[in-house]
Amino acid sequence: MNIELEVTNACNAKCLFCPHDLSAKRGVGFMTEETFTRLINITNPFDFQKFYFTGMGEPSLNELLPDFISKINGKHTVVTTNGTLGGDKVRLLKEAGLTEIFFSINYTDAHQSREIMGVDFERVKESISASISAGLRTSALVTISKLTRPQLREIYEWARNQGIENVYFCVGHSRGGHFQNESIIEAHPVISQTCAVIQWNLFVTWNGDILLCSSDLRGEYSYGNIMDNDMQYFLKLRSSQGTDNDLCRKCDCMFRYDSLTIKQILISNGVDASWLSWP
């Protein structure tokens, strides 16, 4: 199992396809040293292989991020970012021992980066270039929406031309029914009620709550807080978790399916089979 970690749900961007602001219902904040240390202490006895720093905000806004990464020994660590962090912070993350960085890219020029994500194109390019120069494994993450689908090839080529090694695509989804603007993201049929995310990911919010998954924007499906219980307790609850709830019934996130189905979904959404990088 992997840990998906939200070190903050604050954000400095304004992506047209992202309902991050709804997470303000559970308070906006930054993970503290104390909460992170508790998380490491209770996860240590278990075999968590990967730590994904993402969630409903911009992880690089938490100044403790390099410190947190330096405390995770021998595990695969991944930061997903909108790219506004800049070269100095990228180098700090590399020095702290970060394994991989995902840049969320949904544009090919300065006008689009401003309109679609509200980020500064030159700043993102500087961050990408610093990441590659520092020898970090550097990947791009493209969200397929009505804004990007007409130019998936161009975005793929732009990212590869920056020197980015892997370009991953994810079909934009409603986050369990929270985002319903069909002029930006179409609703996709729910193919089956299975969920691989429940099996592989444990989502921890900035204040230490463990939620059903990151689509639980308002924190309505909580297992409790890591300060109050140990990991055995959370894993036991998790093992009996099903998808018979309002969030999962409406969830059209491709990661709930198996890898073959994910590939078929991506191809039917306009991704060239030769670009596919997801396992």
Ligand X SMILES: C[S@@+](CC[C@H](N)C(=O)[O-])C[C@H]1O[C@@H](n2cnc3c(N)ncnc32)[C@H](O)[C@@H]1O
Give the binding site for ligand SF4 (CB under 6 A).
Answer: 11, 13, 15, 18, 20, 56-58, 82, 104, 117, 176, 195, 197-198, 212-213, 215, 243, 247-248, 251, 253, 256
Give 20 or 94: the residue with its C-beta nearer to ligand X: 20
Rounded Cα distance, 124 and 65, in Å: 18
Rounded Cα distance, 257 and 140, in Å: 21
Choose the one of ligand SF4, ligand X, none that binds residue 26, judging by a C-beta under 5 to 8 angstroms depending on kind: none
Choose the one of ligand SF4, ligand X, none that binds residue 185, judging by a C-beta under 5 to 8 angstroms depending on kind: ligand X
- Taking Cα atoms as reference points, which of 83, 39, 76 lies closest to residue 61? 83
Using a 10 angstrom Cβ sphere, with 0-12 exposed, 13-18 middle and 19 or more buried, the burial of residue 127 is buried
Give 9 or 108: the residue with its C-beta nearer to ligand SF4: 9
Least CB distance from residue 119 to ligand X, whole Å?
9
Least CB distance from residue 176 to ligand SF4, whole Å?
4
CA 87 to chain centre: 21
Rounded Cα distance, 206 and 211, in Å: 11
Give 124 or 226: the residue with its C-beta nearer to ligand X: 124
Interface residues with ligand X (CB under 6 A)? 11, 15, 17-18, 20, 54, 56, 58, 80-82, 104, 141, 143, 170, 172-173, 175, 179, 185
Least CB distance from residue 4 to ligand X, whole Å?
10
- DSSP track, 140-183: EEEEESTTTGGGHHHHHHHHHHTT-SEEEEEE---TTTT---TT
